[in-house]
Structure 1
Amino acid sequence: MRMMLKAVVLWGALAVAAGFASIGAVHAADKAGSKIEVQKSKSPTTQKAKARPVSKASSSQRVAQKGKVASRVSKAKSTRVAKASPSAARVGGSKSSRPTQKGKNVAPAMAGGVDLWQGQEHLAVRSGSALVIAQDGGEALYEKNARIVVPIASITKVMTAMVVLDSMPNLQAPITITDEDVDYLKGSRSRLQVGSVITREMALLLALMSSENRAANALGRHYPGGLPAFIVAMNRKAASLGMSRTHFADPTGLTSNNVSTAHDLARMVAAAYRYPLIREFSTTPGATAEVKGRELEYRNTNQLVKSPTWEIGLSKTGYIQEAGKCLVMQARVADRPVVIVLLDSSGKQTRIGDANRIKRWMESASASGKATPA
């Protein structure tokens, strides 16, 4: 009996041990399974963690791309700055990099071996076409649309005066104002009434000083061969001076068919300066003309000839709607003889303002040593 009891107890102990062993195995298995589950549950996080560097890399690429874009923009801006700044463009020393300011085609110039590029960005000329050039020619000190063909209005009268004087007429001979001299094209006014008789010299003075249209037309009519021959002579004279882009259709400039360029007009002014009478008459501040027993006061259309700060050797203004306000001058500026041409100015005082700006610019350049007077 005792033996059977021991066997039962031993069997029970073995069963309990086996149970604990199986429970331990189950716990072990559960623990292992728990680790697997945890690993699986963490794997997305781990994948995300691994994906973050990729995201950072793409972000850095985007930053790099933005940096490249910013660099390109910066380069583009620096290029635009270089184009807008003559001094910046000159650093490279390339002629192809010469600046073109908005609405301006600026030419290089040397004055006494000094480059006048410096300071050109500070010269704001508002006339549509402009040219500043040494009287004896050479490179332009400043130019803007100086080769564009435009109407020239009464600047024409400088050529009219040269052609008249080339024919060596009797300046004291009387000429008569007729209906043929009346402006029916633009309707401009004149105090020289039809039937008025003045000397050729007085007509020349009034045409150059006060831009008197009837006087200028009468001069052309009294030319040998009449007005048609006079216009032929005008164009022949222009061709002889190398004014290849110039055409004249009348002696007054009232027609917009009288066209030229700033460069051509600079040639004309330089040539006209060799005529003492043109220099004198075009710069006379004012004069009195006796017409039909009446004394008529005339003034110069260029107010600068009366200025004590200007030394002007030749002057002529012009205006028709198609041409705008125009002005040509020979003057001594910063102790240099130059020709100044200003065409297509819109404002009433724009051409005068431009002339004064050019004068200040040249004087400033000379004073600072950027330009050496010739």
Structure 2
Amino acid sequence: MHHRPRTALARLLQVSAIFALSSALVLPGAHAAEKKVAKKQQASSASKPARAAKVVKAPRAAKVSKAAARKQPAGRAVAASAAAPVRAVAYAPARQSFGQLAGLHAVPDPLDLKSSVALVVDQETHEVLLSKNDHAVLPIASLTKLMTGLIISQARLPMDEMLTITQDDVDTEKGSSSRLRVGATLTRGEMLHLALMSSENRAAHALGRTYPGGLQAFVTQMNVKAKLLGMTDTKYVEPTGLSSRNQSSARDLAVLVNVAHGDPLVRELSTSPSYEVAQGPRTLQYNNTNRLVKNPAWEIGLQKTGYISEAGQCLVMQAEVAGRKLIMVFLDSAGKFSRIADAERVRHWVENQAGGATAILASHKIKG
């Protein structure tokens, strides 16, 4: 009777021991699994806000409006951003000048000038101080207006006569703009002032158009004058210089500068620093296209600038340097400010020369 209870108790203790041992073996793995699942849930919940932030940023990067972003699902907004086309910008090379096409810039000179054509002459002794491609015949752009001004000045036409800009004076050659509107009225003297000082194309054209006999008679007179002066390389087809068919050489232009410098009106107007003209309620301020006229280091007696793509940057001047009266011609200069820099190079060179050394380089004559 007493033996059975001991056996039951022993069995109960044995089962309890087995259960405790199995719990000790199983529970650590279960805890580890629970921790692993918890970490996955945390990672999953943490990753959801990150995806939402990415979707919000995408429309801003693609410059999509907020309203459009709200209407579209986030995935579509990102896809639209990724598929946005990239616009290609076409490169348009600058148009080469006649001098560049002819290879004139390859000709060296002692001053490393940026102009492919240059000529510096002593106005009194006619000594050539510097020559580079001086016989090359090239477009001369608004240097044309120097002949235009000379013809008008010597014609002795009334300078106080009122002239009106018409549609005929609007540039159809290059499509250039002008502050002188169709219908603007100025005196002939004011038109001449703007043409020589500020290179005003409509003013120059109006001067030729209102010449006795009309525009064609004026152009004919320009060519007659060139022939009388011995400018055998020169041809004019219109009074502004917008046409690349207005052509000349540095040698011919030096002759023109010398003659034009002898005309007091042309000399005065071409070197005027600035000028104002009244147009109704407006007052138009014009400045000289050659900034050297305001430079105290220069004593300029006459000047004219010019530019069209076929001619490059051009400049002619009469100036006194180191006590010498010089005529300078620069054609087909490469760079917006290079013609001014070339003039400065020549001035410093002449000032540094003892008596003015002569440097004559080979020149080439280009017809076309």
| Bin for the TM-score computed over the shorter chain | 0.5 to 0.7
Q: Kindly indicate whether residue 164 of structure 2 is the aligned counterpart of residue 176 of structure 1.
A: yes
| Offset at residue 260 of structure 1 (A) | 0.1
| Offset at residue 370 of structure 1 (A) | 5.4
Number of residue pairs matched by the alignment: 254
Structure 2 partner of 1:199: 187
CA distance in 2, matches of 1:208, 1:261: 20
Q: Kindly indicate whether residue 137 of structure 2 is the aligned counterpart of residue 145 of structure 1.
A: no
Structure 1 partner of 2:107: 103
CA distance in 2, matches of 1:370, 1:157: 31
Structure 2 partner of 1:359: 347
Counterpart residue type for residue 309 of structure 1: A
Identical aligned residues as a percent: 53
Q: Structure 2 matches for 1:117-132, cutoff 5 A?
A: 121=110, 123-132=111-120
CA distance in 2, matches of 1:198, 1:293: 14
Structure 1: where are the runs of 5+ without partners?
A: 1-100, 107-120
CA distance in 2, matches of 1:370, 1:197: 48
Structure 2: where are the runs of 5+ without partners?
A: 1-104, 359-368
Q: Structure 2 matches for 1:201-280, cutoff 5 A?
A: 201-280=189-268
CA distance in 1, matches of 2:351, 2:336: 25
User: Deviating runs (4+, > 3 A) in structure 1?
Assistant: 369-372
Structure number with larger C-alpha Rg: 1
Q: In the superposition, relative to structure 1, how do residues 226 and 102 fare at CA in structure 2: closer, same or farther (>3 Å)?
A: closer
CA deviation profile, 1:2-57 (whole Å, cap 9, x unmatched): xxxxxxxxxxxxxxxxxxxxxxxxxxxxxxxxxxxxxxxxxxxxxxxxxxxxxxxx
User: What SS does the corresponding residue of 1:172 show, helix, strand or coil?
Assistant: coil
Counterpart residue type for residue 283 of structure 2: E
Structure 2 partner of 1:321: 309
The match for 2:334 among 318, 337, 346 is: 346
User: What SS does the corresponding residue of 1:296 show, helix, strand or coil?
Assistant: strand
CA deviation profile, 1:260-290 (whole Å, cap 9, x unmatched): 0001000000000011111111111111111
Q: Is the 8 A contact 1:136 1:270 kept in 2?
A: no
Q: Is the 8 A contact 1:197 1:292 kept in 2?
A: no
Structure 2 partner of 1:35: none
What's the Cα RMSD here?
1.6
The match for 1:305 among 273, 293, 300 is: 293
| Offset at residue 135 of structure 1 (A) | 1.4
| Offset at residue 102 of structure 1 (A) | 5.8
Q: In the superposition, relative to structure 1, how do residues 192 and 359 fare at CA in structure 2: closer, same or farther (>3 Å)?
A: same
Q: In the superposition, relative to structure 1, how do residues 245 and 371 fare at CA in structure 2: closer, same or farther (>3 Å)?
A: closer
User: What SS does the corresponding residue of 2:115 show, helix, strand or coil?
Assistant: coil
CA distance in 1, matches of 2:335, 2:112: 15
CA distance in 1, matches of 2:162, 2:122: 38
CA distance in 2, matches of 1:102, 1:282: 32
| Offset at residue 346 of structure 1 (A) | 1.4
User: What SS does the corresponding residue of 2:331 show, helix, strand or coil?
Assistant: strand
CA distance in 1, matches of 2:130, 2:311: 21
CA distance in 1, matches of 2:106, 2:184: 50
User: What SS does the corresponding residue of 1:128 show, helix, strand or coil?
Assistant: strand
TM, length-normalised to structure 2: 0.67
Counterpart residue type for residue 307 of structure 1: N
| Offset at residue 165 of structure 1 (A) | 1.4
Structure 1 partner of 2:83: none
CA deviation profile, 1:161-190 (whole Å, cap 9, x unmatched): 011112110000000100000001101110
